[in-house]
Structure 1
Amino acid sequence: MNRRDFLYGMSGALVGGARALPVEGAVTERPDARDSFMISNVSVFDSARGVLVPDQTVVIQDDVIAAVGTGVRDDSFDVTRIDGRGKYLLPGLIDAHVHLSHILYQSHMTGDEILPFFLAHGVTSVRSTGDNVPAQRLVQRHAERTPHTSPRVFMASFLIGGSPAHHPDVGWSLDKPEDVPEFVAHMAAWGVTTLKLYINVAPEVGRRVIEEGHRHGLMVAGHLTSYHPSDAIRDGIDSLEHIYTVADFIRRDPDDRHSVDLRSDAAKRLIDQIAESQVFVDPTLMVFWGTLFFVDDPQVIEHADNASMPRRLLDFWHLDNPRRLDSFSSGPIAVRRGTFQTYMELVGLLHRAGARVLVGTDAPEPQVPPGSSLHHEMEFLVQSGMSPAEVLSAATLVNARVLKADDRIGSVTPGKKADLVLLDANPLTDIRNTRRISHVFKDGAALLPAEILTAAPR
C-alpha cells in the first residue's frame, strides 16, 4: 500500500459491555460494573520482583487500584468485599504481538469480533504489530466503548517495507529515506504506539524510520530479513519480532532454515549484542508451533484451545483453504520438531544472557487462538528455561514497558489501572495455572470469563 488508506477490517455492529460480577459467595447482590472492591487475604504477584506477596488487601475504586498492602482498614472504603483466601492476583496479561485487521481480512472477520476472546483469558491489553491503520483505529474505538468485553488496544503502523509491499491489506512501501518523515508524522497523528519494519525494508529506510520514530516518541519493532538485526540494533531499534529474526542470521547454510547453529561465533556475538543493548525480543513461539512448522500435525490442528474459535476463523485456518498463508511445513516432521526445539533453546540462551524477553503470540494466525494462545506461549517460555515468575513478569511489566505504558499497567500498584486477573491456583508452582481464572478485572469491573464470551461470535 502506498499513500492510500484501504479500510480493511471495518467494524460492524458493536457488541455491548458485560456487567460486573461478584466472586462466588463473596457478596449477596450483583455489584454495578463501576462498583468498588476490596479483595482481602489474597496473594499478589509483584511483577517487579517476581514474587508472590501473601495476605494482601487490594482496593479498587472505579477503574484504578486505590490501595495495596496489609494495613488497609476495612472501614476506610465503601466497597464490595471479596475474600481472596486461596486465590492469586496478577496484573492483567498483555499480548505483545497481535494483528487486528491482518489475517482477519483473509477470514472475512473484523477486529472487534476477536476482542472478547482476549479479555476472557485475562489478556487485558494487546499490542498490534502491523495492521491497516484506519481499520485498527475503529477496533481501538470499539474497545474504548466496550471496556468490559475488550482489552486495551495499542496500535501499530502498516507493515513498512520496500516495493512491492508484502500483504497488500496491511503493507506500505517506503523505498526512499526522504519519504520517511512524512509517513512517520502521519502514523503519529493516527495515534500509533509502534512502527513496524517488515521483511524487505531497505536498511537505509529502516534507519530513518527508527530515527524519525524516536523523534515522535514511538517504539520501532522489526520483523527483519533484508536488514540485519545487528545493524538494526546499532541503529536503535526497540524490539525484534519473532525468534527467527535472530535465528535466520546464525545458520550454517543461509538457504536452510533448519541449519541454525547456536554454538557458532556469530550466534554468540549476536546474543551478546542483544543482551547488552537491552533491545526487546519477542519470540512468538506460538506462531512457529501453530502456523509455520506443524500446521499439518493433528495434535496442533485439533488442539483444545481451537475449539471455541469462530467458524469463519477456523475455515480460514484450514490447510486446504487457498486463501491461507504459506507455512514452513515441509520436510520431515522430526526435522521441524528439532528446529522448534532449537528456537526454544535460543530463547533460553537469550534470557540467560540478560535479554529482555517479551510475551507475544501473533494471534490470530492459524492455530494461534486469541487469548488462550498467550497461556500456551507462556508454557513454551517455561520450557525454554524461564521460570514461571520470570515469564509472568515478562507478560505483564516487561510487555508494558515495550508499550511505554508501565506507568499505567503491568503491576498491581496504587494509581495504576485496575486491570487484574484473579486465579484459583498458584501460577508460580505451575504456569498452566494461569488458565484457572476466577475473575478478570478490567477498568475496575469484576468479570466472569464465560460472561465476557457471550459477546463473541460463533
Structure 2
Amino acid sequence: MNLKQPLFLVLCFLQFWIESCQNTKVSPTLMPTYVIRNVNIIPMTASKELINNATVIIQNRKIVAINEAIPNNATIIEGKGKWLLPGLIDMHVHNLADVNFSNNFPTKGATLFTNNQDFMSLYITNGVTTILELSARVEHFGQRNEIIKGNVIGPRVAMAFLIDGGEDSGNNANTPEEGRQTVRIAKAQGYEFIKVYSRLNQATFNAIVQEAQKQGMKVVGHIPNVFRGKLAEAFIPNFGLVAHAEEFSKQSKSFSFSDAQRFAQLAKENDTWLTPTLITMVRIAQQTHSLDSIKNSPLLKYVPPLMQSKWLFSNNYNRETDPKRIARIDSMVAFHQILVKAFKEAKVPIIAGTDAGVSGVIWGFSLHDEIALLVDAGLSPDEALTSATRLPAQWLGIEDKIGTVERGKMADLLLLDANPLDDIANTRKIAGVFVNGCWVNKKTLRQMLFEAQKHHKANQAKEESNWKNRKNF
C-alpha cells in the first residue's frame, strides 16, 4: 500500500469513521447512538460534583442524556472502573502544515508536505480534542477543513492571526493605521483571534488591540519589548491572554515573589488571563544543557522526520548556549512556578497551553506534561484539569459547546482507566476518546501512533527530511 494511503485509513476509517461518522452531513440518522455505561464522570462544571456509576447517552455527536433509559440498538461502551471527562484543550500550538521554504514563483505552491492524519493523530491519541493555533496561515484552514469533512480524524482548531512589528516578511505593522488595517484583513479572511508579538511599538499595539475589540476578536500574545520598564501600560482592555509566563519573567530582575504578585495584580485588574506554557521553558532549559532529552525521548519516533532533523541538528537553544544563558533560563523555570502560585493566589484564570512545535515540545503529549507541571506549581488536580477543559472553552467563547460533560454539549470526551483527581499522571491512562461524537478505542489509538511511527521511519532517509535541505525543494 502507498504510504500516502496508510493502512490506518482501512483499519480505522472503515472501522468506524466512514461507516458511522463521515456521512453525517448528508444523513444524520446514520450516526450511531453510543452509551457509556457504569462510568464515573468528572464533569468539570463549576460545582465540581462527581457523578458515579453513570450512564451517558450520545446521539448525533452530542451528549443527549445522563442517567436516562438506554435506547434500543445503542453501541455500548463499558465504563465500569473508568473515568469520563471532557476532551482536553491545548491553548497554544504551532501545527505543521504544507509549506514552501524555497524561492517562490507563480503556481509553485507548497514543496514540503505534512501527512495530516499522522500529525493530527498525536493530538487525538492524547485526548486533545481542541487546539488554538497561534501562528495560523492559510494552509491551516485547509487542514481544518479536512478534519471537518471527515477525511482526517483531528481536533477542533481555532486560529489566531499573528501580527508583529519590524520589516521582516510576515504580517507586520509599524503604525497604528497599519495595525488596524491588518486586523480588518485578518477578520475578513476568517481568522478568529489576533496574536500580538514582541516587536510591535506601543501605538501600533494599542491600535491593534482596540481594532480587534471593534471586530469582535480577542487578543492573545506576547507583551511587546517596548513595555519593559513600563509594564502597566501594556494592560489595556481586550488584551485578554498572555501567551507565556516568560513574558513576565522578562520584566523581572530579581525573580521574586513580590514581582510575581505585582504581575498578577496587573493581569487581574485588566481581566487578562495567563497561559504559562511551563513545559516550553523546561524543554528549552534541558536543551541548553544538552540534546539528550530529545535524543533519548521515546516519543521522538512520533515526530515528523523534518522536525526531528531540525531539533537534533539545527537546534539554536543548544548551539547558542553559554553558562550565563543556562543559569538565567534555569532561574526562569523556577520563577515560572512562583508566578503560577501568585496568579492562583490572585485568582487570575490560568489555562493550559504548551507552545507545541518548539523543539522538544511534542504535539498532544506535551499537554499532559503541562498539566502535571501546573500541579507541581501549586494547582490542585481539579484546577489543572479545569485549565485544560472548561476555562479554555470559556476564553474561546465556545463554553456552550465543549469544556464540560453536560447534556447538550458536543461529545468531545476522554475516557480514562484511573482517576486523575487522585493522581494527575492518570490523564495518560487513556481507554478511549470521543472525537466530535465518534468513538476511538484504545486499540485504534495505538494503531494511529504505530502508523505515524512507521511512516516517519520510512521517510527518515529522504533528502527532504533533512532540515539543511529544506530550501532545495
Higher deviation after alignment, 224-233 or 431-440: 224-233
Instruction: Return the offset for 1:102.
Output: 8.4
For the pair 1:162 / 2:160, whether they are aligned, the reply is: no
Aligned to 2:416: 423
Cα distance in structure 1, aligned partners of 2:245 and 2:319 = 16
Q: For residue 88 of structure 2, what is the amino acid of its counterpart?
A: L
Q: For residue 393 of structure 1, what is the amino acid of its counterpart?
A: T
Q: In 1, are the aligned partners of 2:287 and 2:317 still within 8 Å (CA)?
A: no
The within-5 A match list for 1:5-16 is 16=9
Identify which of 105, 125, 128 aligns with 2:130: 125
Instruction: Return the offset for 1:296.
Output: 3.7
Aligned to 1:249: 251
Cα distance in structure 1, aligned partners of 2:97 and 2:195 = 13
Cα distance in structure 2, aligned partners of 1:377 and 1:242 = 12
Distance 1:327 1:396, change over 3 A: farther
Q: For residue 242 of structure 2, what is the amino acid of its counterpart?
A: L
Classify the secondary structure of the residue corresponding to 1:172: coil
Instruction: Return the offset for 1:270.
Output: 2.1
Identity of aligned residues (%): 27
For the pair 1:45 / 2:42, whether they are aligned, the reply is: yes
Aligned to 1:440: 433
Cα distance in structure 1, aligned partners of 2:243 and 2:361 = 16
Instruction: Return the offset for 1:398.
Output: 0.7
Higher deviation after alignment, 303-312 or 354-363: 303-312
Q: In 1, are the aligned partners of 2:40 and 2:84 still within 8 Å (CA)?
A: yes
Instruction: Return the offset for 1:447.
Output: 0.5
Instruction: Return the offset for 1:146.
Output: 3.2
The within-5 A match list for 1:252-271 is 252=254, 260-264=255-259, 267-271=260-264
**Could you list the per-position Cα deviations for residues 358-415 of structure 1 after superposition, in whole angstroms to 9, with x for gaps in the alignment?**
1011111110011100001111111000011101111011111221111111111111
Q: In 2, are the aligned partners of 1:66 and 1:415 still within 8 Å (CA)?
A: yes
**Could you list the per-position Cα deviations for residues 21-70 of structure 1 after superposition, in whole angstroms to 9, with x for gaps in the alignment?**
79xxxxxxx984442111121111121234532122111112111112x3
Cα distance in structure 2, aligned partners of 1:190 and 1:180 = 15
Distance 1:338 1:206, change over 3 A: closer
Instruction: Return the offset for 1:235.
Output: 3.7
Cα distance in structure 1, aligned partners of 2:242 and 2:448 = 33
For the pair 1:306 / 2:300, whether they are aligned, the reply is: yes
Distance 1:193 1:173, change over 3 A: same
Cα distance in structure 2, aligned partners of 1:238 and 1:378 = 21
Aligned residues: 420
The within-5 A match list for 1:48-197 is 48-49=45-46, 50-68=48-66, 70=67, 72-74=68-70, 76=71, 78-101=73-96, 108=112, 110=114, 112=116, 113-131=118-136, 133-146=137-150, 149-157=153-161, 159-165=162-168, 168=169, 171-197=170-196
**Could you list the per-position Cα deviations for residues 133-172 of structure 1 after superposition, in whole angstroms to 9, with x for gaps in the alignment?**
2122122122222376211111111x2111123xx4xx31
Cα distance in structure 1, aligned partners of 2:180 and 2:91 = 26
Q: In 1, are the aligned partners of 2:98 and 2:114 still within 8 Å (CA)?
A: no
Instruction: Return the offset for 1:79.
Output: 1.3
Q: For residue 243 of structure 1, what is the amino acid of its counterpart?
A: A
Distance 1:452 1:321, change over 3 A: same
Classify the secondary structure of the residue corresponding to 2:52: strand
Identify which of 217, 234, 239 aligns with 2:236: 234
Structure 2 stretches lacking a partner, 5+ long: 22-30, 102-110, 457-473
Aligned to 1:7: none
Cα distance in structure 2, aligned partners of 1:295 and 1:209 = 35
Identify which of 328, 339, 342 aligns with 2:332: 339
Classify the secondary structure of the residue corresponding to 1:314: helix
Aligned to 1:200: 199
The within-5 A match list for 1:316-331 is 316-318=310-312, 320-321=313-314, 329-331=321-323
Q: In 2, are the aligned partners of 1:39 and 1:82 still within 8 Å (CA)?
A: yes
Q: In 2, are the aligned partners of 1:143 and 1:153 still within 8 Å (CA)?
A: no
Higher deviation after alignment, 359-368 or 286-295: 286-295
Distance 1:40 1:221, change over 3 A: same
Higher deviation after alignment, 392-401 or 97-106: 97-106
Instruction: Return the offset for 1:342.
Output: 1.6
Instruction: Return the offset for 1:105.
Output: 7.0
Identify which of 354, 365, 372 aligns with 2:365: 372
Q: For residue 212 of structure 2, what is the amino acid of its counterpart?
A: G
**Could you list the per-position Cα deviations for residues 156-210 of structure 1 after superposition, in whole angstroms to 9, with x for gaps in the alignment?**
11x2111123xx4xx3110111123332222112221210100101121111111
Q: For residue 180 of structure 2, what is the amino acid of its counterpart?
A: P
Cα distance in structure 2, aligned partners of 1:109 and 1:328 = 29
Q: For residue 98 of structure 1, what is the amino acid of its counterpart?
A: V
Instruction: Return the offset for 1:416.
Output: 1.5
Q: In 1, are the aligned partners of 2:249 and 2:332 still within 8 Å (CA)?
A: no
Aligned to 2:28: none
Q: In 2, are the aligned partners of 1:271 and 1:350 still within 8 Å (CA)?
A: yes
Aligned to 1:5: none
Aligned to 1:285: 278
Q: In 2, are the aligned partners of 1:250 and 1:262 still within 8 Å (CA)?
A: no
RMSD: 2.9
Instruction: Return the offset for 1:433.
Output: 0.6
Aligned to 1:257: none
Q: In 2, are the aligned partners of 1:35 and 1:444 still within 8 Å (CA)?
A: no
- With normalisation by structure 2, the TM-score equals 0.81
Distance 1:102 1:198, change over 3 A: farther
Higher deviation after alignment, 303-312 or 280-289: 303-312
Q: In 2, are the aligned partners of 1:108 and 1:312 still within 8 Å (CA)?
A: no
Aligned to 2:407: 414
Instruction: Return the offset for 1:109.
Output: 5.1
Q: In 1, are the aligned partners of 2:201 and 2:224 still within 8 Å (CA)?
A: no
Q: For residue 302 of structure 2, what is the amino acid of its counterpart?
A: S
Structure 1 stretches lacking a partner, 5+ long: 1-11, 23-29, 253-259
